Structure 1
């Protein structure tokens, strides 16, 4: 991985400020091109998506290696002047490796790093609370040792791994906050009651809400619930894949080309990236 071509400190300071008040969207590009397009629309920050980049390389979510993830984060951070939050799984590998790996992620220039509590054992998809807290604390120690102002996000994966226990998720989020997480995140919560309960439980720390599908809320509704930031995970990548899959299946099954009717203009794309 080459040296950084930019000073990440102003981006990190700006990212920290975004968490102080209001509600902002950090959409999730899956490659350099999608990052640059989202920057052109005026979003204030971006977040990586482990699923989106994995699919783009022909892998399932969770199968991308640490080295490939770091290379992707380096490219994404360099693609635009926006701060980038890193979807960094569980920190990769053993507890003893988490701090070292987080230090390497910081070196890619990202402004935030998310650590989740899902484990590798399908029979026990959530790590024990003690194990999960130890990994968050290791990430916190690595950030502090770096001297860099990088946001640490603690993630409770209950609703993502088939354990939709809101009370347990809140217990975990509170523990991650106590271990040094700056922002808390329970992907998969969807109802207003769930969202407001999480916000209240970890206040005054900011909460990230995942909106990965069509929901009955506007951004203002979500802000009124007290959410500080909104990400979309792999939804944009899935939207792109959906268009390509529909067009290609129509071509194969019916020999028709009208699946390209919603395709972006090549001229517009060339102008954007020129």
Structure 2
């Protein structure tokens, strides 16, 4: 799927959400670290000044969720591995090995540190981290799409730096580059032209005007939706809670899926 064309890779956070996406006909599914964190009542990985390091979901918990999903879906699963759960390249390599053992067919490593004083890993170190991840994949020998993610645009950096970092990660062994924060046609078009490999963009953020057809025409290879499906679900849950608590009415139930339909979907495994 990364060789040609453009495909949508939706993001699940548990077995149920992954099974629904699979049943809708998607040929592959990804995880969302934000959605997994929210499902555990935890915040997503953020700057440590807003969220202490011990408040984030740890590697073992995240890999356990990846394994749960991979065991229950028949389509390939790509894992959101955040920053690899440690700065050292060796730590990132271990994370990739654990992800492969959990049954995932892909995963992304980002350069975001969580430290406001240095929000991104040094570029050379970030490339070394991707290089270590690539070596872990090659040693294992199983098919695995390694994605190098740079958060340059999310922390206020320039498009030139995003291009430079993404190309460095591709040169270090990433199969695909991911540049979150690129949401308009001009920025995405520049990335497609300047990158030496396939580009993943994330959609589903508030105000996004581009469609999948638009992104395909721009030359984007892969489209994910991050935590947006999970946030939409939790948005409905919050509105439901407020209706029940404030009004004592039950109109939220008008949008529910019938019990029998859900039972049939989850019993079939498709």
TM-fit CA distance, 1:221: 1.0
Pairs aligned (count): 255
Unaligned runs of 5+ in 2: 46-55
TM-fit CA distance, 1:120: 3.1
TM-fit CA distance, 1:94: 3.4
TM-fit CA distance, 1:155: 0.3
RMSD: 1.2
Is structure 2 residue 172 aligned with structure 1 residue 208?
A: no
- Whether the 8 Å contact between 1:50 and 1:88 is mirrored in structure 2 is yes
For 2:173, the equivalent position in structure 1 comes to 180
Unaligned runs of 5+ in 1: 1-17
Runs of 4+ in 1 over 3 A off after TM superposition: none
Task: After TM superposition, list the pairs within 5 Å mapping 1:162-181 onto structure 2.
Answer: 162-181=155-174
SS of corresponding position for 1:167: helix
Give the one of 106, 115, 119 matched to 1:121.
115
For 1:85, the equivalent position in structure 2 comes to 78
For 1:196, the equivalent position in structure 2 comes to 189
For 2:97, the equivalent position in structure 1 comes to 103
TM-score relative to the length of structure 2:
0.91
Which string of whole-angstrom CA distances, capped at 9 and with x for unpartnered residues, describes residues 125-166 of structure 1?
Answer: 111111211111110111111112211100011223x22421
Give the one of 56, 66, 73 matched to 2:66.
73
Is structure 2 residue 18 aligned with structure 1 residue 35?
A: yes
SS of corresponding position for 2:135: helix
Give the one of 247, 257, 260 matched to 1:264.
257
TM-fit CA distance, 1:168: 0.8
For 1:156, the equivalent position in structure 2 comes to 150
TM-fit CA distance, 1:236: 0.6
For 2:239, the equivalent position in structure 1 comes to 246
SS of corresponding position for 1:77: helix
In terms of mean alpha carbon deviation, does 166-175 or 92-101 score higher? 92-101
- Whether the 8 Å contact between 2:184 and 2:210 is mirrored in structure 1 is no
- Whether the 8 Å contact between 1:155 and 1:173 is mirrored in structure 2 is yes
